[in-house]
Amino acid sequence: MGAKGHMDSLTQIVLGAAVGEAVLGKKVGNKAMLYGAIAGTIPDLDVLSRYFMDTVTATEWHRGFSHSIFFAVLFAPVFGWLIWKLNRRDEASWEDWSWLMFWGLFTHPLLDAFTTWGTQLFWPFKTRLAFQSVFVIDPLYTIPFLVFLILTLFQKRTALKRRKYVNLGLIISSSYLVLTLILKGIAYHKFENALEVQGISYSQLHTRPAPFNTILWMANVDTENAYLMGDYSFFDSKPIVFTSYSKNHELLGDLAANGKIERLIIITEGWYTISEKEGQLYFNDLRFGLISMDKNDTQFAFSYRLVPKGDDILVEEMPKFKKDAKRLMTALWERIWGN
């Protein structure tokens, strides 16, 4: 699960291209899609921050400034002017291009807001918008959208069908997003009932879709000393089973007052456990769950090794492996069809 809640690049390119086409296709034809696709990719360049910043800062920056309304308003006219300079022969004005860039830059974080990681749409305010109703790669969102976009490409610039196809793509994909919110509501209700039936008292319940689909849902439940995790598929026939993970927050000891740890806790919104392996401490972000469907596996998708360094600590993100991802895919596919 390499993507940290970045909606998959292909998805953002498809959305950007469709938005570009909708805004300016009539005037500049396929160029509108090209520049829309570019606009849809620009906010994700914030991932480069991890090459020249420490892990904690890069994680904080992720989906911050470049995913905000402020960024879209500020940079749309700049990019718009550049494209206008490059395409003087077209009948599109500087304002037209700026408008296209604005919608491309703005719809990107809007889509990201539906994922688990969420986005700081109102940066510099710290609030993260995260509806957590769609996984970062969801074929049901992207594939139909892509099909309509390809159909659009093959129509003449002035063809009426062109407008029709691109609008269908936008309407169908947006309707799917609304549907994911409804599915999330149903899954939430199921988890709530299961907790009540099992007599479990808790302070918070968070739900999110499992990777690549919206049929299987995962829940994180906050109880006094442990977090419970459970999953529910719409094809399930047996009751929901919750697995418990001790918080172990006391293992941090004096480290709890360390600035980096405090920032990590803010990033995870308090959903974290501490584990100890061979004398090493690990900080686990619970919001994305485990790297496998095996209840006995304790490797979380996002885990940070805490390495003491003099008076300070070094925070290292644990790598993810392709074999884990493959194993997860197989297990998910089986799990989707019910317990």
Which of 96-100, 246-250, 315-319 reaches the highest mean pLDDT? 96-100
Question: How far is residue 253 from each of residues 65, 217, 279, measured CA to CA in Å?
Answer: 34, 34, 14
Handedness of CA 322, 324, 329, 330 (dihedral sign): positive
**Beta-ladder partners of 245:** 227
pLDDT at residue 295 in the model: 66
Contact of 240 with 194, CB cutoff 8 Å: yes
pLDDT reading at 239 higher than 80:
yes
Residue ranges of alpha helices (H) inside 238-336 are 259-267, 322-336
Selected residue with higher pLDDT from 315 and 18: 18
pLDDT per residue as tens digits for the range 190-211: 999 999 999 999 999 999 999 8
pLDDT per residue as tens digits for the range 155-196: 888 888 999 999 999 999 999 999 999 999 999 999 999 999
Beginning with the edge strand found earlier in the chain, give each strand of the sheet holding 272-277 in spatial order: 272-277, 280-290, 300-309, 312-317
pLDDT reading at 3 higher than 50:
no
pLDDT reading at 309 higher than 60:
yes
pLDDT at residue 231 in the model: 94
pLDDT reading at 40 higher than 80:
yes
Handedness of CA 324, 325, 330, 334 (dihedral sign): positive
